[in-house]
Chain A
Amino acid sequence: MLLRRLLLRNHRNYAHLDISMEPGVNVFLGANGQGKTNLLESVAMLALSASPRARREVELVGPVAAASRIEAEVESSGRRMELVIALNVEGERARRTIEVDGARRRAVDLPGHFRVTLFWPDDLGLIKAGPDQRRRFLNQLLVQVQPGYARALSGLRRILEQRNSLLKRIAAGEAAADQLDVWNAELVRVGTEVVDARASAVNELAPEAARCHAEIGSGERLEIQYLGPPEDMAAAVHNSLAEDLRRGSTSIGPHRDDLRVLLGGQDARGYGSQGQQRTAVVSLKLAEADLVARRTGERPVLLLDDVLSELDLERRGALLRHVGGGGQVVITSVDVGPFPPDLIANASIWNVEAGQIKACG
């Protein structure tokens, strides 16, 4: 997987950017607030359809106009493609248009054309954070490798909105309780698709994550377990009816899933030290990139936002061994401090300053 060329128009602080990336390691250096994360965010959007960090799409549109555009030339299995994500501000919201090779696509149909593994400082809290961040970890992986997953996920969201709205109407006496049956059925049908995909992804991630962790953490045992809804989801949904009606929301389903991380058989969240948790996160990220490569036969583009400086030598080393594996890598950093000289010698170095990027040697 290669990102050949990236064009940004009015994306955050980039009024106009046009750069051609090199196949190997690309290092983007710049002081705080110059646009390093904004750059990586735009690349991640090409893989995920949506920004992995913005809460509202209008945030992405810069000050120059009421529209923005991310355009890229990518190469997958030797085939070149052109991807476009355009945003048009309409009042409080932004309307998104997506194109692959000039043809309009739905947001759920973009992922899978261009694949990345994104690792940024927020991820270092993956184990300490709430379950929603771990679900996001699985989702960002699965939309890229499992056809139909993005669609199932967006369907699941819609089903939950509809079911929750109906629960409130029933509680208020505005609708009959028997109307819930179809939404229960839809929740189980689409929920099962999501659950099956997550369960098999976690099974596939586990051995590689364990291997990485043992290697960095001198033999410590890392296990991950998928915590999904009860085996018989239909019965569980049925049995939770009274509670759901009381709360006006759905208590059973993959929207409540979690990923349990164990270190030496103990829960990493409560038991692991800061350092152990970080080792586990690096291992999970490397296992993610490995899974994408195995399932698709092609390494994803690795996006590392300023994480090297946050890691100690040993974890940095593990990550860099992976980086040295030959796939395309985009790394940002405030300075060259955390990079080994031989990596810098073979990398393309870029300077980021106030929304402008220049090659430097």
Chain B
Amino acid sequence: MPQLPEPLERLVQELSRLPGVGPKTAQRLAFHLLRADRQRAESLAQAIADVKARIGYCERCYNIAEGSLCAICSSPRRDASVICVVESALDVLAVERTAEFNGLYFVLHGVISPIDGIGPDQIHVPQLLERAREEGVEEVIVATDADIEGEATAVYLQRALAPLGIKVTRPAHGLPVGGDLEYADELTLARAMAGRRSF
């Protein structure tokens, strides 16, 4: 393949690091940006820079946040006695869309997976336990995916939280077995939240 000019080559490289983008797509996107007018391209670059500068993670629940607390943690209307534990910030959006849940969240940013070197410490389990102890939490809903690692993580949390006298539940009905929470449709997820069960 003929050598691309250095800045273009660098852009292709960067784009191909994105999830779901192969080398061919990266080239196509890079050439598209090359053709686009300067303003469009710069506004994309600025949006990326702003996200990195202004959005971080909530100190309390690890959800995405502008500032030290996320919008949900800073809302006075949310019920702090119930925490819903999810795998990713996208799952928070999914559960919020159901309008079925009025508690707070805890985002693990992963699941227990020894193959990937991920244990309880890597997904902030100690922080979750501390929060449950200190904030007088009464119920923790473990809404990890229904695949093997999601189930294992749920069992781990159940075993760690139960001795603290906290009720631990898991969404039950309708969640696609082995499926990703992120892809569940709203009705399915609403039913799953309403019909949660104890371990």
A154 vs chain B, min Cβ distance (A)? 9
Counting chain A CB atoms within 10 Å of each CB, the highest count among B152, B153, B155 belongs to B152
B167-195 Cβ-contact flags toward A at 8 Å (1 or 0) = 00000000001100000000000000000
A354 interface contact, C-beta 8 A: no
Whether B178 lies near A151 (C-beta < 8 A) is yes
* Total CB contacts across the A-B interface at under 8 A: 48
Whether B159 lies near A179 (C-beta < 8 A) is no
B7 interface contact, C-beta 8 A: no
Whether A166 lies near B114 (C-beta < 8 A) is yes
- Which residues of B lie under 8 Å from residue A136 when comparing CB positions? none
Interface residues on A, range: 20 to 34
B119 interface contact, C-beta 8 A: yes
**Interface secondary structure of A, over-half rule:** helix
Whether B114 lies near A182 (C-beta < 8 A) is no
Rounded to whole angstroms, the CA-CA distance of A182 and B153 in the bound complex is 8
Rounded to whole angstroms, the CA-CA distance of A158 and B148 in the bound complex is 7
Whether B112 lies near A106 (C-beta < 8 A) is no
Whether B115 lies near A162 (C-beta < 8 A) is yes
Whether B119 lies near A175 (C-beta < 8 A) is yes
Rounded to whole angstroms, the CA-CA distance of A165 and B120 in the bound complex is 15
B138 interface contact, C-beta 8 A: no
Whether A162 lies near B178 (C-beta < 8 A) is no
Rounded to whole angstroms, the CA-CA distance of A126 and B76 in the bound complex is 67
B113 interface contact, C-beta 8 A: yes
Whether B151 lies near A179 (C-beta < 8 A) is no
B117 vs chain A, min Cβ distance (A)? 8
Rounded to whole angstroms, the CA-CA distance of A2 and B60 in the bound complex is 59
Rounded to whole angstroms, the CA-CA distance of A106 and B180 in the bound complex is 13
Whether B152 lies near A108 (C-beta < 8 A) is no
Known A165-B114, A186-B155; contact A155-B148, beta-carbon cutoff 8 A: yes
Rounded to whole angstroms, the CA-CA distance of A282 and B159 in the bound complex is 49
Known A166-B114, A179-B114; contact A186-B119, beta-carbon cutoff 8 A: no
- Which residues of A lie under 8 Å from residue B155 when comparing CB positions? 182, 185-186
Known A179-B120, A185-B155, A186-B148; contact A162-B114, beta-carbon cutoff 8 A: yes
B31 interface contact, C-beta 8 A: no
Known A151-B178, A179-B119; contact A162-B149, beta-carbon cutoff 8 A: yes
Rounded to whole angstroms, the CA-CA distance of A162 and B119 in the bound complex is 11
Say which residue of A106, A166, A174, A182 sits within 8 Å of B178 (CB atoms): A106
B125 vs chain A, min Cβ distance (A)? 11
B94-128 Cβ-contact flags toward A at 8 Å (1 or 0) = 00000000000000000011110101100000000
- Which residues of A lie under 8 Å from residue B117 when comparing CB positions? 169, 174
A122 interface contact, C-beta 8 A: no
Q: Which chain A residues numbered 147 to 182 have a C-beta less than 8 Å away from chain B? A: 151, 155, 158-159, 161-163, 165-166, 169, 174-176, 179, 181-182
Whether B148 lies near A159 (C-beta < 8 A) is yes
B157 vs chain A, min Cβ distance (A)? 9
A183 interface contact, C-beta 8 A: yes
The 3 closest A-B pairs by CB, nearest first: A166-B114, A165-B114, A158-B148
Known: A162-B152, A166-B114. 14 other contacts (CB 8 A): A155-B148, A158-B148, A159-B152, A162-B113, A162-B114, A162-B115, A174-B117, A175-B114, A182-B152, A182-B156, A182-B159, A186-B148, A186-B151, A186-B155
15 contacts between A and B (CB under 8 A): A155-B148, A162-B115, A174-B117, A175-B114, A176-B119, A179-B112, A179-B114, A179-B119, A179-B120, A181-B159, A182-B112, A182-B153, A183-B152, A186-B148, A186-B151
Q: Which residues of A approach B to under 8 Å, CB–CB?
A: 106, 108, 151, 155, 158-159, 161-163, 165-166, 169, 174-176, 179, 181-183, 185-186, 190
